[in-house]
Chains A and B, each alone.
Chain A
């Protein structure tokens, strides 16, 4: 069976994002960009399923600027077999991404599509669920465990109350949470090998998807800044401060 893994190029999670002075967005020129951390976990899970003999092909797909090739190369170096870049300079919203992925899924017929649960730039947490709805398939979101048995996949999900387990009929969509696995670092030989793996290049138009944005960003602002308060020298001082705040136990 085939596994499709969509990946997004985003600001590296170690970089503190800066809002542009004109309020038009976040400055991503000249900052380090990487694969969205949740997508890395998705790639790792797909590759592990292949290594365990549960899947025979892992296809990574990215929608974005030409530079998104970098994150596809990372996916290939981690063990994906081939990649598809769907190139556009536009900012593509989750709904349009889901529509493009629906078209890719129609061509590739994957049994499993594993996505990151959210991208750390827009923090929308939508794409996997939207894709699942568009192709009328079940979803296991915020996954911390994925087990394939025959024509079903059992997914353990990190929910507000604890851990929920659901059983889904394949084909299915899974979105990866942090504790699903710990992604590997690609080794140098694998990075070299990845350069020879196939990468298709397409555009949203090839799939007939209108990517016109539905949301208009009117303004992007810094959140209210919190001032550092004061340091106290002892537990007694801390207790006094807490009591002054009305905390009594």
Chain B
């Protein structure tokens, strides 16, 4: 089997999630990596992809049409390459989820989303019902289209490989869609999905200012990423890309500190694979305590500043 992996990259660097996806893909077959993008940044990303241990070949598709990874442009590029491959594998990121199903539909393949493990050549496990059940599924399709949950696989070594880079011919612009803008949150803090420690705040944090005053100092002290519950995002305490859960980001850090979060199943879906979970909540019956390794029943407005001070 030969597998085509879609590389996620930014400013010429390969994102960590792709390293996990390469590990998953290598369990299926020989890995070729596709870098789609534009100009210098794409070339640099292709160089970086060629150094990933386990990558046997890099395909570089460089064209203005791929600069923003519009699925209307990128999916036909991939579909066009799939004659030579048995499987297409993307990360279950907003980008991968956007592109992979278009590829699957064009290949007449039923995609397997968000896999947690590779059990056999065509057999995989994946979470369903917000992670309340794990299904083992086997594909009967001629080719595979898969998205990978990054936190379920170790990262491949970023250095050590020396794959050849080939140019893939671009398919151009579909003319169906155009990129207008990106409003990105600026943060000096570690990336939420790959941070070793995450401090998350919930609805109890009252407003954006309070969230910042209470959560940020603790996160800074620990060198942690900041996360949030849906309720906190809905209420405007922090922007959408901080949401952890079934419909937000999936995290599995060494340490997850949930502050003023009740522990709804949709939130747990995004963090219950964390190594150690700490919960601070004033309600001793809050469901978060059922999965927390260490629980502190306390008013967070007293406990968190005290904790920040004592660490």
Contact = CB atoms under 8 A, between A and B. Distances in A.
A93 B104 CA distance: 13
Nearest to A231: B295
Given A163-B183, A231-B289, A215 B240 contact: no
A217 interface: yes
A163 B184 CA distance: 6
Contacts of A139: 71-72, 98, 102, 177
B140 A215 contact: yes
Given A178-B230, A236-B310, A94 B110 contact: yes
A169 B106 contact: no
Given A121-B128, A129-B71, A168-B177, A218 B230 contact: no
Contacts of B222: 247, 249
A221 B134 contact: yes
A163 B182 contact: yes
B109 A216 contact: no
B129 A239 contact: no
Contacts of A26: 128-129, 132-133
B176 to A, nearest CB: 4
B129 A229 contact: no
A123 B130 contact: yes
A223 interface: yes
Contact of A95 (B104, B128, B239, B296): B104
Contacts, number: 253
A94 B289 contact: no
Interface stretch (A53-61, A64-72, A130-138, A185-193): A130-138
A235 B305 CA distance: 10
Interface residues of B, number: 89
Interface in B144-189: 174-185
B182 A177 contact: no
B294 A130 contact: no
B105 A141 contact: no
A62 interface: no
A117 B94 CA distance: 11
Contacts of A159: 94-95, 182, 241
Interface in B210-250: 221-223, 230, 233-234, 239-241, 246-247, 249
B292 interface: yes
Contact of A217 (B135, B179, B182, B276): B135
Interface in A110-153: 117-118, 120-134, 136-139, 141-142, 144
Contacts of B94: 141-142, 157-160
A69 B281 CA distance: 42
B255 interface: yes
A125 B113 contact: yes
Contact of A17 (B132, B177, B221, B223): B132
Contact of A167 (B139, B178, B182, B183): B178
Contacts of B102: 129-130, 132-133, 139
Main secondary structure of the interface of B (DSSP, over half): mixed
Contacts of B110: 93-95, 213-215
Nearest to B291: A226
Given A219-B136, A245-B255, A126 B296 contact: no
Nearest to B99: A129
B2 interface: no
Given A130-B105, A221-B133, A123 B128 contact: yes
Contact of A247 (B178, B193, B197): B197
Contacts of A242: 255, 278, 294, 311
Interface in B30-87: 70-72, 75
A162 interface: yes
Nearest to B234: A179
B182 A124 contact: no
A232 B99 CA distance: 46
Contacts of A178: 230, 234, 247
Contact of A235 (B139, B140, B289, B307): B307
B297 interface: yes
B99 to A, nearest CB: 8
Nearest to A168: B177
A106 interface: no
A90 interface: no
A230 B297 CA distance: 11
Interface of A: 11, 13, 16-17, 19, 26, 93-95, 98, 117-118, 120-134, 136-139, 141-142, 144, 154, 157-169, 177-179, 213-223, 226, 228-232, 234-236, 238-239, 241-242, 245, 247-249
7 contacts: A16-B132, A26-B129, A26-B132, A163-B183, A230-B294, A242-B255, A247-B311
